[in-house]
Amino acid sequence: MRSIKSFTLTLDELEFVHNGLARPESILAEKDGTLWTDDSRGSLTRIDPDGSMTTIGSIGGEPNGFALAADGNFYIPNIGDGSVYKMDRDGNHELFMSEIDGEPLGAPNYIWIDSKDRMWISVSSRAVPWFLSVNAPRPDGYIILVDEDGARIVADGIYFPNEVRMNADETYLYVAETMKARMIRYPVAPDGSLGEMEVFGPDGLGEGGYVDGFTFDADGNIWVTTIIRNGLGIITPDGDYHVVFEDVNQPALDAAVEAMDAGALSPELMFGCVGARVQFPVSVTFAGDDLKTVYLGSLAMPHLVTFRSPVAGAPMRHWQ
Domains of the chain: 4-319 (2.120.10.30)
CB 164, CB 123: distance < 8 Å: no
Model confidence pLDDT, tens digit, residues 194-213: 999 999 999 999 999 999 99
| pTM, entire model | 0.97
Note the pLDDT tens digit of each residue in 19-41: 999 999 999 999 999 999 999 99
33-88 residue pLDDT tens: 999 999 999 999 999 999 999 999 999 989 999 999 999 999 999 999 999 999 99
| Rounded CA separation 303/298 (Å) | 8
Angstrom distance (rounded) from CA 162 to CA 68: 18
206, 62, 291, 74 alpha-carbon torsion, rounded to 10°: 140
C-beta of residue 161 within 8 angstroms of C-beta of residue 177:
yes
Residue 136 pLDDT = 86
Q: Rounded mean pLDDT of the chain?
A: 95
In whole angstroms, what is the distance from residue 150 CA to residue 170 CA? Answer: 20
Q: Which amino acid is at 215?
A: T
